[in-house]
A and B are shown apart, each in its own frame.
Chain A
Amino acid sequence: MAVVTDALPAPVPVSRSPTWLRIRQALRRHPTALLGALMLLLLICMALLAPFLGTVDPQAISPVRRLREPSEMYWFGTDMLGRDVYSRVIYGARVSLAVGLTVAALATTIGLAIGLVTGFVRWLDGIVMRVMDGLMSIPGVLLAIALIALTKASLENVIIAIAVTEVPRVVRLIRSLVLSLREQPFVDAAIAAGTRTARILTRHILPNTVAPLLVQGTYICASAMLTEAILSFLGAGTPPNIPSWGNIMAEARSLFQIANYLIFFPGIFLSLAVLSVNLLGDGLRDALDPRLARNM
């Protein structure tokens, strides 16, 4: 008898949404997604605890000690101004993660709002989607470059510029979801029951967009971190007085042949950060988007 009782599915606590449960299952079933989540957590801790990790002021210049190779004293060496690269790389995590997470939050929120409106207000749909088509046909990095060339260099402007390039994809995703959800019987039923549009949106449409948005959000985070580094590397990104991985590498460009560690250390950290978000994203997609997940 005991065996039978054990076999019964455990009652799902009301407070836990199925999305959350599926994420937990995915993390358990996909070791790589768990690895990604752990790596990301580690990087976030590293960024938050940067002052306590044996770092010195990442901006402290010391020309006497410039271009020292990595050693016991300077773990990642020093750059052409004698700044400690280890400290700069650790602090640099703050910029990358802040840009990645903020852009993901910003782009999904704005995209969700625009997508919901265009999906429901039909006369707006044509206009908004043409604008989005136009935006999407400009390669992302170039669009961000144009936005930044016209504004003063600042971290906020970098975040806004990258978010602008990511919004159209979210709008497309949400709009297509809304259009297919509108045809679902439960939405028909709600309309027939006289439910107001606002309530249909919040009660029936919105909850169904959470899972795909979460997946899209992780990919946006990864792509935003890469774009920030590319922009900084090209001299159109984070202002040089903020140590970001892209900036450290940009400053080292002309020195590559004599001090390649200036590129490789931030490069490794950037790749690992993007990798961890990508792994997490793949796991989430497997868990939350069964249609896409099957073979990817």
Chain B
Amino acid sequence: MLGYFVRRLLATIPVIAMVAFFVFALLYLTPGDPAAVIAGDIATVADIERIRHQLGLDQPLLPRFWSWASAVLHGDLGISIFTNLPVTQLIGQRVEPTLSLALCTLIVAVLVAVPMGVIAAWKAGKLIDRLVMLFSVAGFSIPVFVLAYLLIYLFAIELDWLPVQGYTPLHEGLWPWLRHLILPSIALGTIYIALIARITRATMLDVLAQDYVRTAHAKGLAPGVVLMRHALKNAAVPIVTVIGIGVALLISGVVVTESVFAIPGIGRLTVDAIIRRDYPIIQGVILIFSAVYVLVNLAVDLSYRLFDPRIQY
């Protein structure tokens, strides 16, 4: 088990290195002059030269990548072009709102989606199953920001139950913090719920058709026990896998959700960086989010054993 863990952890290094190299090499691979694009339309020749030097574009790719990568390994993601502050510091200041939103959404999504999928599979073909499937197709089709505005319109403007926008840090109290996260979490979580519910239903249908489920029913176990202990536990591996894969949706959605709800997190930082074409920030954000994504999926892989003792590493 430990050997496997170490091997898998080591295997993520080339993937993250690949991401780092790609994000870095983009500066060199994109057609045209990125320094000129980043500098904008009203830049002087001196501005463009300054940015070219700051990004290291006046040096060849590989030596430059080497010095950048070793800086990254020392926790230095470079300097923001616009604010001249270290990217690590800018990102560090904004971790809390993003982490709050992502965790809140993740928890809500799993708590809603898994029971939804289980019930849909249990009542397959019935009205409730149809409704769950309808919800899931709709959830895949509504863009997160349209849903966000719809929720704001209904619950913040018309009903006035929840705040329109903003974020309150956790240390100012649990309820104010939570109140600001309810609408963003629902908006962000819907597509994720659709995804998880759909996989849960599909896997549960497979498992419910197994002989041991019929046996469990035949020996008179309560339907709830069969559903939870016999079926859901055996359906867990694909469900957990999709929860891991879906984190990519969550990350992309965080950027949009934060800008609709004016949450001062990493997503907002990214959007501001796009407008100012502050590439070092974009680079840093992508690197960190991708690393998180890879590590989450590593954790998912390692969790299989918990659900299915037959899996040998």
Q: Tell me the A residues contacting B by CB distance below 8 Å.
A: 130-131, 133-135, 137-143, 145-152, 222, 226, 229-230, 233-236, 249, 253, 256-257, 260, 263-264, 267-268, 270-272, 274-275, 278-279, 282, 294-296
Contact = CB atoms under 8 A, between A and B. Distances in A.
Given A140-B248, A151-B32, A296 B202 contact: yes
Nearest to B276: A149
> 5 nearest interchain CB pairs?
A134-B18, A267-B146, A141-B252, A275-B141, A295-B202
A250 to B, nearest CB: 9
Given A142-B252, A150-B27, A233 B145 contact: yes
A267 B149 contact: yes
9 contacts: A130-B15, A133-B18, A146-B286, A148-B274, A149-B277, A264-B146, A271-B143, A294-B205, A295-B202
Given A146-B283, A229-B145, 11 more contacts: A133-B18, A138-B286, A139-B249, A139-B252, A146-B26, A151-B32, A235-B274, A249-B146, A263-B149, A271-B141, A274-B140
Contact of A134 (B22, B144, B273): B22
Nearest to B149: A263
A68 B44 CA distance: 41
A139 B289 contact: yes
B31 interface: yes
Interface in B149-198: 149-150, 152-153, 157, 164, 198
B270 A142 contact: yes
B143 A138 contact: no
B58 interface: no
A141 B256 CA distance: 10
Nearest to B156: A257
Interface residues of B, number: 61
B282 interface: yes
B141 A274 contact: yes
B146 A137 contact: no
A114 B30 CA distance: 21
B216 interface: no
B23 interface: yes
Interface of B: 14-19, 21-23, 26-27, 30-32, 34, 37-38, 137-138, 140-146, 149-150, 152-153, 157, 164, 198, 201-202, 205-206, 248-249, 251-252, 255-256, 259-260, 270-271, 273-275, 277, 279, 282-283, 285-286, 289-290, 293-294, 297
A130 B22 CA distance: 12
A138 B290 contact: yes
A151 B30 contact: yes
Contacts of B138: 275
Contacts of B149: 256, 260, 263-264, 267
Given A140-B248, A146-B286, A150-B279, A133 B145 contact: no
A295 B271 contact: no
Given A150-B37, A235-B275, A140 B140 contact: no
Contacts of B164: 257
A143 B286 contact: yes
B30 A150 contact: yes
A296 B19 contact: no
B157 to A, nearest CB: 7
Nearest to A229: B143
Contacts of B251: 139, 142
A139 B252 CA distance: 6
A278 B140 contact: yes
Given A222-B140, A274-B141, A296-B202, A140 B26 contact: no
Contacts of B15: 130, 133-134, 137
B141 A147 contact: no
Contact of B142 (A142, A149, A271): A271
B271 A230 contact: no
Given A278-B140, A296-B198, A138 B22 contact: yes
Contacts of A294: 202, 205
Contacts of A145: 255, 270, 274, 282
Given A134-B19, A141-B255, A275 B201 contact: no
A106 to B, nearest CB: 17
B143 A139 contact: no
B252 A140 contact: yes
A135 to B, nearest CB: 7
| Residue from B34, B152, B202, B290 whose CB has the most chain A CB atoms within 10 Å | B290
A230 B252 CA distance: 9
A273 B141 CA distance: 8
Nearest to A219: B140
